[in-house]
A and B are shown apart, each in its own frame.
Chain A
Amino acid sequence: MNKIEQTPLIEVRGLKKYFKKSGKTLHAVDDINLSIMPGTTLGVVGESGCGKSTLGRTILRLIKPTEGQILFEGEDITKVSEAQMRKYRQSMQIIFQDPYSSLNPRKSVAEIIATPLVVNHVCKNKAELRKRVKELMDTVGLADRLYNSYPHELDGGRRQRICIARALAINPKFIVCDEPVSALDVSIQAQILNLLMDLQDNMGLTYMFITHDLSVVKHISTEIMVMYMGNCVEKAPAKELFENPLHPYTKALLSAIPIPDISMRSKKIQPIRGEVASPIDPAPGCRFAPRCDFCRQDCTGSSIPLVEVSEGHFVACRLQEK
Chain B
Amino acid sequence: MSEKLLDIKNLKVQYKSGNVPVCAVNGIDLSLNKGETLGLVGETGAGKTTTALAILRLLPERTGLIPEGSITFDGQNLLEMSEEDMRTLIRGEKISMIFQDPMTSLNPVMTVGEQIAEAIEYHNSTREGEEKIPVDERVNEVLEMVGIPASRKDEYPHQFSGGMKQRVVIAMALACEPELLIADEPTTALDVTIQAQVLAMMSELRDKLGTAMILITHDLGIVASICDKVAIMYAGKIIEAGSLEDIYVSKEHHPYTVGLFGAIPNLKVETRRLSPIEGLMPDPSELPSGCYFHDRCPHCMEICKHEYPDVYTDGTHSIACHLFTKKGVQEDKDE
Direct A/B contact, Cβ within 8 angstroms: yes
Binding site for B on A (CB under 8 A): 47-48, 155-157, 185-191, 193-194, 197, 212-216, 218-219, 242, 252-262, 264-265, 269-273, 275-276
Q: Which of A47, A215, A269 is in CB contact (< 8 Å) with B264? A: A215
Q: Which of B197, B262, B265 is in CB contact (< 8 Å) with A219? A: B265
User: Are A257 and B267 touching (Cβ within 8 A)?
Assistant: yes
Across chains A and B, which 10 residue pairs bring their CB atoms closest together, nearest first?
A: A258-B221, A190-B276, A271-B196, A190-B263, A260-B220, A256-B196, A190-B274, A47-B191, A185-B43, A256-B192
User: Are A258 and B225 touching (Cβ within 8 A)?
Assistant: yes
Report the minimal beta-carbon distance from B27 to chain A, rounded to whole angstroms.
23
Q: A190-B262, A271-B200 are in contact. Are A258 and B222 (CB under 8 A)?
A: yes
User: Are A186 and B221 touching (Cβ within 8 A)?
Assistant: no
Q: In this complex, what residue of A is CB-closest to B267?
A: A215
Residue B65 lies at the interface, judged by CB distance under 8 Å to chain A: no
User: Are B191 and A276 touching (Cβ within 8 A)?
Assistant: yes
Residue B252 lies at the interface, judged by CB distance under 8 Å to chain A: no
B271-296: CB near A (< 8 Å → 1, else 0) gives: 11111111010000000000000000
List residues of chain B with CB within 8 A of the CB of A157: 280
User: Are A257 and B248 touching (Cβ within 8 A)?
Assistant: no
Residue B99 lies at the interface, judged by CB distance under 8 Å to chain A: no
A155, B161: Cα distance in complex, Å: 31
User: Are A275 and B163 touching (Cβ within 8 A)?
Assistant: yes
Report the minimal beta-carbon distance from A136 to chain B, rounded to whole angstroms.
21
A189, B43: Cα distance in complex, Å: 11
User: Are A219 and B274 touching (Cβ within 8 A)?
Assistant: yes
Q: Which of A219, A252, A255, A275 is in CB contact (< 8 Å) with B161? A: A275
List residues of chain B with CB within 8 A of the CB of A193: 265, 274
A139, B288: Cα distance in complex, Å: 28
Residue B218 lies at the interface, judged by CB distance under 8 Å to chain A: yes
List residues of chain B with CB within 8 A of the CB of A269: 196, 200
List residues of chain A with CB within 8 A of the CB of B199: 258
Residue B112 lies at the interface, judged by CB distance under 8 Å to chain A: no
User: Are A259 and B263 touching (Cβ within 8 A)?
Assistant: no
User: Are B196 and A48 touching (Cβ within 8 A)?
Assistant: no
List residues of chain B with CB within 8 A of the CB of A258: 195-196, 199, 219, 221-222, 224-225
* 25 A/B residue pairs, CB under 8 Å, sorted by A: A47-B192, A186-B260, A187-B260, A188-B276, A190-B262, A190-B265, A193-B265, A194-B273, A214-B192, A215-B264, A218-B267, A256-B192, A257-B221, A257-B267, A258-B221, A259-B221, A260-B221, A260-B224, A260-B261, A261-B224, A262-B245, A264-B225, A271-B196, A272-B196, A272-B197
Residue B119 lies at the interface, judged by CB distance under 8 Å to chain A: no
A191, B274: Cα distance in complex, Å: 8
User: Are B271 and A219 touching (Cβ within 8 A)?
Assistant: yes
Q: In this complex, what residue of A is CB-closest to B223?
A: A260
List residues of chain B with CB within 8 A of the CB of A257: 192, 221, 267
Task: Mark out the residues of chain B between 233 and 284 whose CB falls within 8 Å of any chain A CB in the assembled complex.
Answer: 244-245, 248-249, 259-267, 271-278, 280
List residues of chain B with CB within 8 A of the CB of A272: 193, 196-197
A262, B272: Cα distance in complex, Å: 24
User: Are A271 and B262 touching (Cβ within 8 A)?
Assistant: no
Q: In this complex, what residue of A is CB-closest to B270?
A: A239
Other A-B contacts than A157-B280, A187-B259, A270-B200, 12 sampled, CB-CB below 8 A, are: A48-B162, A186-B260, A197-B273, A213-B192, A218-B265, A242-B267, A256-B195, A257-B192, A259-B221, A260-B221, A271-B196, A271-B200
Report the minimal beta-carbon distance from B282 to chain A, rounded to whole angstroms.
12
User: Are A260 and B259 touching (Cβ within 8 A)?
Assistant: no
List residues of chain B with CB within 8 A of the CB of A242: 267
Report the minimal beta-carbon distance from A21 to chain B, rounded to whole angstroms.
16
User: Are A262 and B224 touching (Cβ within 8 A)?
Assistant: yes
List residues of chain A with CB within 8 A of the CB of B266: 215
A197, B267: Cα distance in complex, Å: 18
Report the minimal beta-carbon distance from A317 to chain B, rounded to whole angstroms.
17
Residue B10 lies at the interface, judged by CB distance under 8 Å to chain A: no
Q: In this complex, what residue of B is CB-closest to A254?
A: B267
Residue B58 lies at the interface, judged by CB distance under 8 Å to chain A: no
Q: Which of B194, B274, B276, B278 is in CB contact (< 8 Å) with A275? A: B194
List residues of chain A with CB within 8 A of the CB of B225: 258-259, 264-265
List residues of chain B with CB within 8 A of the CB of A270: 200
Q: Which of A48, A186, A187, A216 is in CB contact (< 8 Å) with B191? A: A48
A260, B210: Cα distance in complex, Å: 24
Q: In this complex, what residue of A is CB-closest to B163?
A: A275
List residues of chain A with CB within 8 A of the CB of B28: none
Determine which residue in A187, A214, A276 has the highest number of CB atoms from chain B within 10 A of its CB, and name it.
Answer: A187
A270, B261: Cα distance in complex, Å: 26
A150, B194: Cα distance in complex, Å: 37
User: Are A212 and B272 touching (Cβ within 8 A)?
Assistant: no
List residues of chain B with CB within 8 A of the CB of A187: 43, 259-260, 263, 276-277
Report the minimal beta-carbon distance from A114 to chain B, rounded to whole angstroms.
25
List residues of chain B with CB within 8 A of the CB of A48: 162, 191
Q: In this complex, what residue of A is CB-closest to B201?
A: A271
List residues of chain A with CB within 8 A of the CB of B161: 275
Report the minimal beta-carbon distance from A227 to chain B, rounded to whole angstroms.
13
Residue B164 lies at the interface, judged by CB distance under 8 Å to chain A: yes
List residues of chain B with CB within 8 A of the CB of A218: 265, 267
Residue B330 lies at the interface, judged by CB distance under 8 Å to chain A: no
Residue B44 lies at the interface, judged by CB distance under 8 Å to chain A: yes
List residues of chain B with CB within 8 A of the CB of A197: 272-273
Report the minimal beta-carbon distance from B285 to chain A, rounded to whole angstroms.
14
Q: In this complex, what residue of B is CB-closest to A154?
A: B280
